[in-house]
Chain A
């Protein structure tokens, strides 16, 4: 087998594996969300609805492909591809590329973020080209959100890089064989995970779609296969980034008895279930709150994590774990404080203004 055929074969196998997992993620989401909401989810198509995503995708394939009047046609048509391509391309930076293509990136983690940064471009183009105000707002939201949350995400991941002393994903995983990074980097994980939810447009940060506000957000005008591309890309991203999260914080494929790939999938799906659980629990934040959390909270927190990690590298693992845990607890406490006290100042101001105006006494209708 020549190198080229081997690479091509590897790519095809990889794409198939990724797509299968994407379909599984879709199914898991619908089932788990159903059970969280005391209902069943898909039941009729295949065993417990296992074939439901296939039926949906096939049906979408057979639908009319519409381009709205007034849309910027070329951009409208290629936008789903712009969004879809990086979701697949990101696998070129994954650790197993070496087995397939015979080379690997020394700066794998850097590559991941670089490729992922192209995803919002697709959404922005889609929103702009659709000639629809909801799409446009969705597209802008997406651009603002993903650009702001990439920063804390990357900085949080730098803590892991410092511990592993490498940007190569294989090395990062290998260094976790004795102790997972979630133990030494819980604070970084927290920041990374929150930013991840925003990157994935997942609840509570599903602003670009925001069904109750923007109808369907950036993909409002998309039908048929082009919509399916967005849809698939989104779930593929959920899988991909859960996988990356596992690689960075949960020891990747390391684990006893079972083969590495099984461990990898178990951990990934466990994380995906957490993401779905959050979707079943939380409302959506508002767009300005989203920005505030990103810039005022997560970026300082990720920088703090760099400091703690740097100090921890010198003082040793125990000190690092304690400091990280304390910082993580502090972050959780701050977030819950912000939530519990939200709007207090506005409410008090309103009451004060009212009592000034009426100079005391209840208003009688």
Chain B
């Protein structure tokens, strides 16, 4: 699609909210950007949420001011970027808050959206922006003793990376950071305990007992990689829980800033490594919007096909983990038999089993070989039977039901407040799905039936994902059968793309939820800023709510149903 010419409108008039300045640009795709000041931030966002229905905080990040912009507005420093979206008409408004270099602070909005709490910690960690009034402003992905804020442009990457001496020095430190009280060196450090410590430390005064603090992870069989969970236990019961992560922070966003747009797909694959196509797709959508590149109809269908197939393999992995987490071995083996068949198809098409690097601006790298397509179509026709088999193993198993039903109920209002999306939100009855709400690629031509559940417990999250597997197979089949003829990639797209100055934010429905890519271009061949809106990040940070009062066995079952991929959370 071609970007609409930017129209200057009065944002205050458009949204009926005072405090939004009339600087604003209605960007392509109906994405409105507005500007406000730190003093008015909280009241503006509150009014947008309560009066205009922008209840979903979809983006909270920052970007270094583009130098040219800085000259115009004479600010410099960092812009905070807030993305709010409205369910009624699926519009998204981006509110930007410029901060001057010498006053990098803004009020916290974690009082409005509790899900903003970890996001603000991330911005603090990577940009050094201080959020006043934040309850626990500490580093979230980097080590507490890390020096500097790496996403600032003044923080330069060394061409050789981290030196061996630094690694050895880091290895020599004690790894465990105990949640023993006030934030270590946070700028908002007060005498108050962090919320977790406040819940964890007092034991039972009458029994003079202490809480057992259990460090689950980062190396634990059911922590889905390297998630680290602090659990305060009273016997087997969880009193408080807090996820810590950053054990897989691989500097993806910073490294993207040093690569051309096309080279960024490599890193996008490794971001959500279980469903690489979807992250690639989000990047391509944002890039194509920014640079005004059209895709071919065939490419749209191939993209949908690959997104849905990779969703199936991702759910296979989840299903395997859901079984293992509750103590059943066999589901893992059954699921991986089928997963391998789909991975074979990926290999035939893209040449890789996991790291595809397949999407290109304007299309895809290669066409699908006809023989592979025919084989995949045959397989998809019988796919429901494979899912029946998975269901036979778990769905009606008495022990599995007893382990999952009524456990870890996520209330819909919490799902909204924490920015939970994807199957996890749909299990709680929150009816959102980017594929249907804001169709991209060929989703406007292939209808999507959104699987919903009501209660939002672990079992519902299970049933929603099982239903999604069936639905994905159906969509993939429709994409294969309805695939138009024509070229698989648009003509005339160069290797190096220099999109005009501007920003784009595009979302896709990944296996875990709403995955967005926010790209800022300064007109150069590399992104000025590339932010991945990680669905698993928000889904994970609602977990403490779910875990409270449960038992150790439930912790792994509930986390399994959240389906986290640490690569995407830490980036």
Contact = CB atoms under 8 A, between A and B. Distances in A.
B333 A39 contact: yes
A210 B556 CA distance: 11
Contacts of A10: none
Contacts of A364: 53, 55, 87-88
A347 B56 contact: no
B455 interface: yes
B329 A213 contact: no
A342 B404 CA distance: 8
A365 B407 contact: no
A343 B236 contact: no
Interface stretch (A55-63, A228-236, A276-284): A276-284
Contacts of B496: none
A133 B413 CA distance: 36
Interface string A205-237: 011001111110000000000000000000000
B398 A280 contact: no
Interface in B429-483: 429-432, 454-457, 459
Nearest to A216: B221
B300 interface: no
B400 to A, nearest CB: 5
A49 B249 CA distance: 42
Contacts of B199: none
B425 A285 contact: no
B406 A343 contact: yes
A258 B416 CA distance: 70
A33 B328 CA distance: 12
A351 B454 contact: yes
Nearest to A279: B329
Interface in B372-411: 393-394, 396-407, 409, 411
Nearest to B322: A283
Contacts of A340: 396, 398, 401
Contact of A133 (B214, B330, B405): B214
B553 A210 contact: yes
B551 A285 contact: no
Contact of B402 (A39, A133, A211, A339): A339
Contacts of B398: 335-336, 338-340, 342
A134 B556 CA distance: 14
B327 interface: yes
Contacts of B430: 363, 365
Interface string B152-195: 00000000000000000000000000000000000000000000
Contacts of A3: none
Q: Size class of B's contact patch? A: 35 or more
A265 to B, nearest CB: 27
B221 A287 contact: no
A354 interface: yes
A284 B329 contact: no
Interface string B551-567: 11111100000000000
B429 A363 contact: yes
A204 B55 contact: no
Interface string A263-304: 000000000000000011111111111000000000000000
A44 interface: no
B329 A280 contact: yes
Contact of B397 (A134, A339, A363): A339
Contacts of B353: none
Nearest to B85: A365
B70 interface: no
Interface residues of A, number: 48
Nearest to B454: A351
B128 interface: no
A218 B454 CA distance: 39
B549 to A, nearest CB: 11
B337 A345 contact: no
Nearest to A282: B399
B327 A288 contact: no
B218 to A, nearest CB: 13
Contacts of B100: none
A284 B327 contact: yes
A363 B329 contact: no
A362 interface: yes
A288 B397 contact: no
A114 B55 CA distance: 64
Contact of A213 (B222, B394, B412): B222
B427 to A, nearest CB: 12
A338 B431 CA distance: 31
A39 B456 CA distance: 35
Given A351-B455, A365-B55, A283 B87 contact: no
Contacts of A347: 405-406, 409, 455, 457
B406 A286 contact: no
Pick the most buried of B87, B412, B415: most chain A CB atoms within 10 A of its CB.
B412
A45 interface: no
Nearest to B328: A283
A340 B399 CA distance: 9
A25 interface: no
A351 B406 CA distance: 11
B327 A283 contact: yes
A204 B399 CA distance: 8
A323 interface: no
A351 B411 CA distance: 9
A343 B404 contact: yes
B329 A33 contact: yes
Given A39-B333, A281-B330, A343-B407, 4 more contacts: A203-B328, A212-B326, A285-B402, A343-B457
9 contacts: A39-B333, A212-B222, A279-B329, A283-B323, A283-B399, A287-B552, A346-B457, A351-B454, A365-B416
Interface of A: 33, 36-39, 133-134, 137, 141, 203-204, 206-207, 210-215, 279-289, 335-336, 338-340, 342-347, 350-351, 354, 362-365
